[in-house]
Every structure is written in C-alpha cells, then in structure tokens.
Amino acid sequence: MIVNDRKMYLVLRDCERCRVYGTDKSPLADARVQSVGTDVWLYFKTYHLKDARVRTQVDFYDSQSGLVSCLCELIIRRNPAFPQMSEVWMADCRIIRVLKMVQRQKDLRVRTHVESEFVTAEGQLFFGTVHNLSAGGLFLRTVQRLKKKQEITFRWRQGAVERDIACVVTREEGPAKGRYGYGCQFVRLTRGAEEDIRRYVYTRQRERERKRNEAKSGHDSQK
C-alpha cells in the first residue's frame, strides 16, 4: 500500500472522479476515487489495463477544491473485489505534488462551435450554436428570440453521455448574420453534469495547449 503525505492529501476535500493520463500525457482512463484518511484508491471500469507501477498525471475533480492536477505514483492491480464491485482494475494512489489547481469560482471557459438542441419551458425545440462553455454557463447564437430571465434547457451530449441541463438567459447581444447572441447561466446543475462539463472544458484546453506547444516546437526547430 502507498501512504500519502498528509499535506498532499489535504488538496482533496470531496472528490469522487478523476482522469488518469498515460506516460505519453494522453488520457488513459477515468476512475472513481475513494479516500479514507490519507489513503487514496482509484477504481477503473476499463479492461484495458495491466499490473504496473507508474508515475503519471491525475486530474482530480473535487467539488470543493475544483480541478486539482497532480503528479501521482500509482500501483495498478486487479481489483480483488471484482465482480462484487463493477470495477475490474484499481490503483493505490500517492500524490507526489500538485501541478495545477483551478478553483471552482475561477471557472475555465473554452471556445467551441457546437450545434446543440435547446427546449423552452413551453416545450418548443430550437437549435443554436454554443460558442463558449464553462461549468457556470454558455454563450449561444440562434435565430430563436429569447428574453432575459427566460429559462431554457440545454441538451448536452458527450460520447455516450446525454443530459438535459437547465439554464437562464442573463444577457443578450444584437444579431450577427441573423442570429441573436445569449449568455446563459446554468441552474440546478447536478454534480455529475458539472463534473462532465469541467472535464470536457479542461480536456479541450489541454488539447489546445498541447497543439500550441507542438506548433511552437516545430517552429523553433526550423530556425
């Protein structure tokens, strides 16, 4: 068993999910997090793992601390409680150091261009383009006329996950090419939906940072 340093453990206050990265820094698997005292365990449903001891990055999604990106040492092994537990693999986790923290009140926002479905409180379906997204809300453009303080439902789809998320129009921008712009704030956001959105936003930002770094490295190598 790996024992965590107590100071490192304090960064996790209320965490149930994380994302583990491979040694090539690409996403490896999502995991359920369980912690008791200073012990942290990760549980994986994927079958595509093997016994290993590695040092790698783990992004913890904590409801109080926010997103906590850490360098961790993992001992990955078969879960002895499977099939009584649904997860095939597990890992003992030791947090070596914190790489980055994004507090919940400092939500990351990512630019997108995604066509999505929306539904008004009266049941009217319309389509709009989400131009940026955070765990706090979104900005969309649509031909549909909306009013400030009007509640609508945003249909979020990511992979096999589909959720209906309520939001309220908080601001309006004038039409651009016949499409009105609306800033919306999420309301009654469930914990699972919030974690999904934070994970999506952070992953997109990491991908963009990686592409910028690769482009910069390629440019420098040509000098």
Question: Which domains are present in the chain?
Answer: 6-102 (2.30.110), 109-198 (2.40.10.220)
Token digits of residue 127 = 């389509």
What are 22-40's pLDDT values in tens digits?
Answer: 988 888 899 999 987 778 9
User: What's this model's pTM, rounded to 2 decimal places?
Assistant: 0.62
What are 135-150's pLDDT values in tens digits?
Answer: 889 999 999 999 999 9
Residue 38 CB neighbour total at 10 angstroms: 16
Query: Average pLDDT, stretch 170-193?
Result: 88
Query: What DSSP state is assigned to residue 188?
Result: S
* Paired sense of beta strands 89-102 and 66-78, if any: antiparallel
